[in-house]
Amino acid sequence: MHRHVKLVQLLLFVLAASAAHADPAAAQNRQRFLYVASPGVRDYVEWGGHGVLVFDIDHGHKFVKRISLAGYGVDDRGKVLNVKGICAHARSGRLYVSTLKQLIAIDLNADRVLWQKTFDKGCDRMSIAPDGSVIYLPSLENDVWYVVDAATGDEIKRLELKSKAHNTVFGTSGMRVYLAGLGSPLLSVATTDGHKIERTVGPFSAPVRPFTVNANETLLFANVNDLLGFEIADLRTNKVIHRVEVTGFAKGQPKRHGCPSHGIGLTPDEREIWLSDGYNSRVHVFDATAMPPKQVASIALREQPGWVTFTAAIDNVLAYPSTGEVIDVRTRKIVAALADEKGRPVHSEKLLEIDFVDGKPATNGDQFGVGRILP
């Protein structure tokens, strides 16, 4: 029964994501917006201030509005805290932002905070189930992941892994969640049927940093410490099968994250991998139709990237490195750069697309650059 429900949820997700392309009327009434949480690079409020900034994707990424977080996402002295993650479930009308200490729920219809919950071991980069029911929220480089009711913010369960909890990705099926800690070369896989650890993947050559997963959950692409590049694991065997290194660029020491490559994403059609390179202020592009993937391009950015993700649709894809440029994936040309209402450059590692149909939130992308091609 559980598997049947999950398959139905997945079918609904895919149908909703493709609705604008299948129905000309829906496409005509569809508006695409980029939601950017700030401060999305450490606590640097000079790169977008405090709040959630909204940009019009279809009109040159023009600044639209700022959703205020005044009084939220701050410490006991009122200091603005680092934003650690962002996720959404458009059909529920919810956007979620995590900080060092809190999980915040925002009503997408009213642009207001619904609730804020504080967690005793802190918070990091979370992920939401495709059906919007639960959020897997890592503690702040601590021992546990919280399983959280997405409607209320209440804790349902804790998974104790003692791996310095950090990055979290829900698989497209909604049946499994992938959990990586800063202190372990093993990545854990949780099953949502009972919220328990099912297995581990690896070991990778070093602790796992940002990672992404293809749509059918057979391959996982991961940054690891001390590597300008990425490693690939086969999720059917749970073994690492490839190590891919960037050529033609020095590894160097980036300003942030302590990791040469911190940020990796699959284009929605799964044909390319885009990789952050902090030290060289670039993103590198790899042809993912080959195995192992082949380096094919490098794009210079205005600052050191620590993340990269994409628009959700399979065609006319745009890439969003955390440095605020908007890149046409097909031409690999920078077509815009994010700026707030004061004209300040906006940088953030926590952003995603939300589409509205007839003025109501309908579908959403994610912060991780996961694959969207199902077999």
* Paired strand residues for 97: 86, 104
Percent of the chain with pLDDT over 90: 91
Whole-model pTM?
Answer: 0.93
As annotated, the residues of the chain forming the CATH 2.130.10.10 domain(s) are: 33-201, 204-331
Q: Which two tokens stand for residue 264?
A: 């990796």
- 33-201 in CATH: which number? 2.130.10.10
Pairing of strands 229-234, 102-107: unpaired
Q: Which two tokens stand for residue 97?
A: 């932002």
pLDDT digits (tens, 9 = 90+) for 60-102: 999 999 999 999 999 999 999 999 999 999 999 999 999 999 9
pLDDT digits (tens, 9 = 90+) for 224-279: 999 999 999 999 999 999 999 999 999 999 999 999 999 999 999 999 999 999 99
Cβ 61 vs Cβ 77: under 8 Å: no
What average pLDDT score do residues 297-309 get? Answer: 98
Q: Which two tokens stand for residue 2?
A: 């559980």
| Alpha-carbon radius of gyration of the chain | 19
**Whether residue 4 has pLDDT greater than 50:** no
pLDDT digits (tens, 9 = 90+) for 133-189: 999 999 999 999 999 999 999 999 999 999 999 999 999 999 999 999 999 999 999
Residues 6+ apart with CB under 8 A from 110: none
pLDDT of residue 1: 39
**Whether residue 14 has pLDDT greater than 70:** no
For CA atoms 41, 43, 46, 52, give the dihedral sign.
positive
Report domain 204-331's class.
mainly beta
320 vs 276: CA distance, rounded Å: 11
pLDDT of residue 73: 98
